[in-house]
Structure 1
Amino acid sequence: MEYNVYLLATDPKNPCRDVIHSRDTSLKIRVYCLENDIFEPNHNEIQLFGYAHGKLYAFETIDINAEDALDVVGAIQWYADYVEYPDMEILPEDPRPGHNVAM
């Protein structure tokens, strides 16, 4: 079984501004802490959400390629392990009231 290797770029001035990079593909995912960050979803990207340690995170791809779309969940699961919350439930929609608006 082949496993993807992920790397994390962090912003030393903002601990909530992580970017997950796949070492072997062009997949990149920006991480937002929704209690601290303003999040305006880009409708050309994939957004997923998850709670860890009582905080809600948004995960949004950066310039997603069709061939990388299947790896998004695996990258988020890797991040959940990284933040020591391996049981993070990955949600397809923003669970905050009023933020799940159909386009």
Structure 2
Amino acid sequence: MEHNVYLLATDPKDPCRDVIHSRDTALKVRVYCLNHDRFTPSSNEIQLYGYAHSKLYAFETIDIMAEDALDVVGALQWYADYIDYPDMEILPEDPRPNKGHDVAM
């Protein structure tokens, strides 16, 4: 079984502004800490969410290519291991109230 190798670009001024890069593909995923970052999802990208260490994270691809879409979950699992939270549940929608889905009226 082949495994992708991931690299992490970090912002020394903001520990929650990471970008996950795949060494072997064009995949890039930006990390947001929703506890303090503003986040407006792009309709052209894939967004996933996860809780770790009492923080809610949003993960959004950067210029996603169709052939890289299947690698997104693997990149997030790698990141969860990196932040020492390997059991992070990856969520398909924003779990915050009134986010990620329409509210019925």
What's the TM-score, normalizing by structure 1? 0.97
Partner of 2:91: 91
How far is the alpha carbon of 1:101 from its aligned partner?
Answer: 2.8
Q: Which whole-Å CA distance do the structure 2 matches of 1:36 and 1:18 have between them?
A: 14
Contact 2:4 2:24 (8 Å CA) reproduced: yes
Q: Does 1:17 align with 2:17?
A: yes
Partner of 1:30: 30
Partner of 1:57: 57
Partner of 1:71: 71
Q: Does 1:43 align with 2:13?
A: no
Percent identity over the alignment?
79
The total of aligned residue pairs comes to 102
Q: Which whole-Å CA distance do the structure 1 matches of 2:30 and 2:61 have between them?
A: 6
Q: Residue 78 of structure 2 aligns to a residue in which SS?
A: helix
Contact 2:93 2:101 (8 Å CA) reproduced: no
CA deviation vs aligned residue, 1:44-81 (integer Å, no higher than 9, x gap) = 00000000011000000000000000000000000000
Q: Which whole-Å CA distance do the structure 1 matches of 2:55 and 2:14 have between them?
A: 15
Q: Which runs of 5+ in 1 are unaligned?
A: none
Q: How well do the aligned residues superpose, as a CA RMSD in angstroms? A: 0.6
Q: Which whole-Å CA distance do the structure 2 matches of 1:57 and 1:20 have between them?
A: 13
Report the residue type matching 1:67 in the other structure. Answer: E
What's the TM-score, normalizing by structure 2? 0.95
Q: Residue 81 of structure 2 aligns to a residue in which SS?
A: helix
